[in-house]
Amino acid sequence: MSVLSHSNGTTIAGSEEPRALRIAAFFTMTVGAFYPLLFLGVGFLFLQLTGNFPIPDLSTRAGLAYAGLFPTATTIGSLADGFSHVVFFVTFVAVFAVLRSRWPVQATLIVVGAAWQMVVGFTKALTSVYIATSLGALYLAAPLSGRGAFLPVGAVAQGLRQGLQDMDTYGVVAVWLMITLLPAATGMPRLVRWLGVVMAVAILQPWWDFGFPLALLLAALWAILLGLWLKRQAVTSSATPVSTAVATPS
């Protein structure tokens, strides 16, 4: 008589990943949830201190002057915007790690979108810092009669930034919607799904001054709920599978 052992434990993530998932879950529930609120808070603080949000519109005289007068605020605003995509990347990769064994297609699409939005978002941040502060300084150094010559250059710079802004936004929205459309068997909470749809609509609608803050506020709640889901997956994957001995004739 021989004895064969098999496991009846079922998990989504691999058993070697629980510690990394716990870290990612904690990161999502803390940094991922707090960062959108911090970004909004810092933005409104600079609005009160400098009279403008720290990401100036370079196609206008006021935007060029702001970038020249407040290069530190402009740098902080642009880099803070870019770092938000790094925060999203960590969370999205954690979701990929959970899904890749049972839902490889969805997992691959999510990680591709995650990489896309991070690369484009950080490219936008770095180029904006160098272009905005340089143009602003040159604009202020020019005589009043010659400052108008910088407006076409500023319009090109603003167009480049807006193009990259749209590209990274579409990447984030695509991943939100892919998470929303995950199979029910993943156990993804219904509220996470609905919040993903609402955030996507809010950030894409034309009233940016209303939709963007709303999307960031909802993103904080979304991150907490998603982090709790990731934590549950970490606990499940770290549980010791129950082994059952099955006797068979020799």
Q: How far is CA 231 from CA 11, 28, 116, 165, in A?
A: 13, 10, 25, 31
Its domain, for residue 51, covers: 2-248
Percent pLDDT > 70 in the chain is: 88
At residue 248, does pLDDT exceed 70?
no
User: What are the tens digits of pLDDT across the range 28-73?
Assistant: 999 999 999 999 999 999 989 988 889 999 999 999 999 999 999 9
The pLDDT, as a whole number, for residue 106 is 95
The pLDDT, as a whole number, for residue 210 is 86
User: What are the tens digits of pLDDT across the range 136-153?
Assistant: 999 999 998 889 999 999
The pLDDT, as a whole number, for residue 26 is 95
At residue 171, does pLDDT exceed 90?
yes
The pLDDT, as a whole number, for residue 15 is 52
Angle at 110 between CA 117 and CA 118, to 5 degrees: 15
**Backbone φ/ψ region at 113: left (φ over 0), alpha (ψ -120 to 50), beta:** alpha
Q: What is the pTM of this model?
A: 0.85
Q: How many domains in the chain?
A: 1
Report whether 74 contacts 66 (CB < 8 A). yes
